[in-house]
Amino acid sequence: MQRAMSATHRFIYKATNGRVGGRMRRGRVLLLTTIGRRSGEKRTLPLIYVNDGDALVVIASNGGRPRHPTWFLNLQAHPEAEVRIGPETRRVRFRVAEGADRERLWSRAVEVYPGYETYRKRTDRQIPVVVLDPIDATSSGAEASN
């Protein structure tokens, strides 16, 4: 059911350039496209995000389930991805926030979507706070791979 809802959300978001499906509760929604760690195929799904300067922040909550979401595992295997916000698409590089930075970003995400706190209470794992840093389109291949 979650896959079907995600596919419908993705379709509507793309068809309307985010005018429909670009907001969820108090948050804004992006489409994250990762490369499948096993299949090598592109995988796209909608996620609530918050801005942090030029970076985008998403939460790998998986609804409080015991395992990390597949998209997070895909990013661990292939740290470069693509995000779409409305009609705009950009390349990003994945990293996990830690320490005080993690706590600051977690608090901001919970302000936007309080359900993250409920998810945190459901699981023993620390829910990753994922930072998607923009990849400078003018960087050389060697710089972009670091």
Whole-prediction pTM: 0.83
Using an 8 Å Cβ cutoff, are 8 and 19 in contact?
Answer: no
Please check whether residue 8 lies inside any domain of the structure: yes
Q: Residue 10's closest CA among 56, 57, 59, 43?
A: 43
**What's the rounded mean pLDDT across residues 111-136?**
95
- The phi, psi pair for 26, rounded to 5°, reads -90, -5
- Number of domains composing the chain: 1
Q: Is 138 exposed, middle or buried (0-12, 13-18, 19+ CB in 10 A)?
A: exposed
The residues, ordered by sequence, that sit 6+ positions from 134 with a Cβ below 8 Å of its Cβ are 54, 55, 90, 91, 92, 93
How high is the pLDDT of residue 19? Answer: 60
Domain that holds residue 87: 2-136
Please check whether residue 145 lies inside any domain of the structure: no
Using an 8 Å Cβ cutoff, are 131 and 95 in contact?
Answer: yes
Using an 8 Å Cβ cutoff, are 85 and 19 in contact?
Answer: no
Please check whether residue 113 lies inside any domain of the structure: yes
Distance CA 71, CA 91 (A): 16
Please check whether residue 128 lies inside any domain of the structure: yes
Under the banding of pLDDT at 50, 70 and 90, the label for residue 141 is very low
Please check whether residue 78 lies inside any domain of the structure: yes
Under the banding of pLDDT at 50, 70 and 90, the label for residue 26 is confident
The residues, ordered by sequence, that sit 6+ positions from 32 with a Cβ below 8 Å of its Cβ are 44, 45, 46, 47, 58, 71, 81, 82, 83, 132
CATH number of residue 56's parent domain: 2.30.110.10
